[in-house]
């Protein structure tokens, strides 16, 4: 999604990170916009698809213009710390969803929990990969999840909770990819 000053993760890791962010961002938007009144689901989904395609083209363009990574550049997904962050994310995600769905019987806030867990998982990744932009992404997604819980507590509809926590998280992921493209262009670092 963004590079580091020393391009430690290499272009392949950053391309993969951007593709993962685009994929999950698109899923967040497509799945969580459906409860809104017509025509908003179609409008949001079309805009999201256009933005995703534009960002994908931007990622591919920056990658094509960049030099090939050197042999000392490690793809971030091979890092053991990444897998610890993902393991923690999976435990928190499914444990929390079990409590939300089975104990509290409140599936309408499940997306808010997902946004919080995914957001929090970016903090150790920011540290492990020396990618400070992940702190901003993590904070944004965590706050969107909290805002979804607050909206629910204040009586907002399920569709509004999904819009805030789900569609908002998708937009945050898209913004992170756009930021990575801009950083790569201005610092000659590949995405």
pTM, to two decimals:
0.86
pLDDT 10s digits, 167-186 = 999 999 999 999 988 888 78
pLDDT 10s digits, 102-153 = 999 999 999 999 999 999 999 998 888 788 889 999 999 999 999 999 999 9
Inside any domain, residue 16? yes
Inside any domain, residue 162? yes
8 Å CB contact between 120 and 138: yes
Count: domains in the chain: 1
Inside any domain, residue 24? yes
What is the C-alpha to C-alpha distance for residues 139 and 80, in angstroms, rounded to an integer?
23
Range of the domain at 179: 10-187
**N-terminal to C-terminal alpha carbon distance within the chain:** 6
Inside any domain, residue 137? yes
Higher pLDDT among residues 159 and 189, named by residue: 159
């Amino acid at each position: 999604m963004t590079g580091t000053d020393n391009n430690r993760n290499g272009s392949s890791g950053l391309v993969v990170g951007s593709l993962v962010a685009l994929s999950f961002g698109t899923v967040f938007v497509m799945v969580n916009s459906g409860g809104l009144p017509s025509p908003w689901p179609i409008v949001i989904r079309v805009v999201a698809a256009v933005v995703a395609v534009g960002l994908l083209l931007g990622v591919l363009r920056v990658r094509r213009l960049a030099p090939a990574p050197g042999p000392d550049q490690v793809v971030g997904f091979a890092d053991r710390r990444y897998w610890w962050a993902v393991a923690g994310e999976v435990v928190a995600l499914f444990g929390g969803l079990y409590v939300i769905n089975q104990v509290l019987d409140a599936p309408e806030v499940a997306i808010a929990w997902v946004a919080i867990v995914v957001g929090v998982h970016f903090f150790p990744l920011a540290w492990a990969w020396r990618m400070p932009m992940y702190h901003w992404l993590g904070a944004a997604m965590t706050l969107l999840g909290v805002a979804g819980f607050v909206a629910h507590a204040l009586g907002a509809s399920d569709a509004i909770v999904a819009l805030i926590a789900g569609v908002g998280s998708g937009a945050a992921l898209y913004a992170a990819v756009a930021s990575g493209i801009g950083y790569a262009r201005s610092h000659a670092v590949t995405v």
